[in-house]
Chain A
Amino acid sequence: AQSVSQHNHHVILSEAASLELGCNYSYGGTVNLFWYVQYPGQHLQLLLKYFSGDPLVKGIKGFEAEFIKSKFSFNLRKPSVQWSDTAEYFCAVNPLGTNAGKSTFGDGTTLTVKP
């Protein structure tokens, strides 16, 4: 069975600090990888995705993530966080092939940015 592990449940940073949120997954086949974000009071929305090509992908609001296939990792980064980045972040794996559609999400990381 596939699984997704997010390393940090709650991260607290000051504005302008750098951010890295860890995500590791286990699955034997080809996957699409996603980071979603849920800002307070808003819908869950896509931050960025990887499905093929360059393993370094860029998303909205200055976020980026790197897919390292050998490590089954898809860590999220941002060089300098802002107070408005306070939100909950979810890593997700969507398999292709036989299990296409059977998505798995991590438990989420709550990011609090202090002004």
Chain B
Amino acid sequence: DGGITQSPKYLFRKEGQNVTLSCEQNLNHDAMYWYRQDPGQGLRLIYYSQIVNDFQKGDIAEGYSVSREKKESFPLTVTSAQKNPTAFYLCASSTLPGTGGYEQFFGPGTRLTVL
């Protein structure tokens, strides 16, 4: 089955700890995205990447970091600098813009709770 996998589904961390969320896709998509979803606020873009070894900040990148060493993988690290990290995190992928409308395919999400 082609799709996007995110792990873990639930994640708990203590304040002051960094934590890395996994995202893998086997859709052969060039572009990948990370969003944060909070109740009543929709999805907000954290980082996105259109090619290996390159990525751009989204609207709320502060306190987060990413890497794109492989086309299939786009891990997100929530650092201790993120002031309010408790949220639902969604990963997505798409073809590149300009190819008939680059719809995004979403993973199941990771719910992060900071204790």
Q: Which A residues are within 8 Å of any B CB, using their own CB?
A: 6, 9, 32, 34, 36, 43-46, 49-52, 90, 92, 94, 96, 100-108
Contact in complex: A43, B107 (CB < 8 Å): yes
**Which interface class (under 10, 10 to 19, 20 to 34, 35 or more) fits B?**
20 to 34
Q: Which residues of A contact B48 (CB under 8 A)?
A: 101-103
B74 interfacial contact with A, CB 8 Å? no
Contact in complex: A51, B101 (CB < 8 Å): yes
Give CA–CA (A100, B101) in the complex, Å: 11
A-B pair number, CB within 8 angstroms: 66
Give CA–CA (A6, B98) in the complex, Å: 25
A-contacting residues, B45-63, CB 8 Å: 45, 48, 50, 56, 58-59
- The secondary structure that dominates the B interface is loop
Give CA–CA (A101, B96) in the complex, Å: 8
List the one stretch of B20-28, B35-43, B78-86 in contact with chain A. B35-43
Give CA–CA (A51, B97) in the complex, Å: 10
Give CA–CA (A104, B92) in the complex, Å: 13
Pairs A–B under 8 Å by Cβ, sample size 20? A6-B42, A9-B40, A32-B101, A32-B102, A43-B106, A43-B109, A45-B106, A46-B104, A49-B101, A90-B42, A94-B97, A94-B102, A96-B97, A96-B98, A102-B48, A102-B56, A103-B33, A104-B59, A105-B35, A105-B43
A29 to chain B, nearest CB (A): 12
Contact in complex: B100, A51 (CB < 8 Å): yes
B90 interfacial contact with A, CB 8 Å? yes
Give CA–CA (A94, B41) in the complex, Å: 18
Give B107's nearest chain A residue, CB to CB. A43
Give CA–CA (A96, B98) in the complex, Å: 7
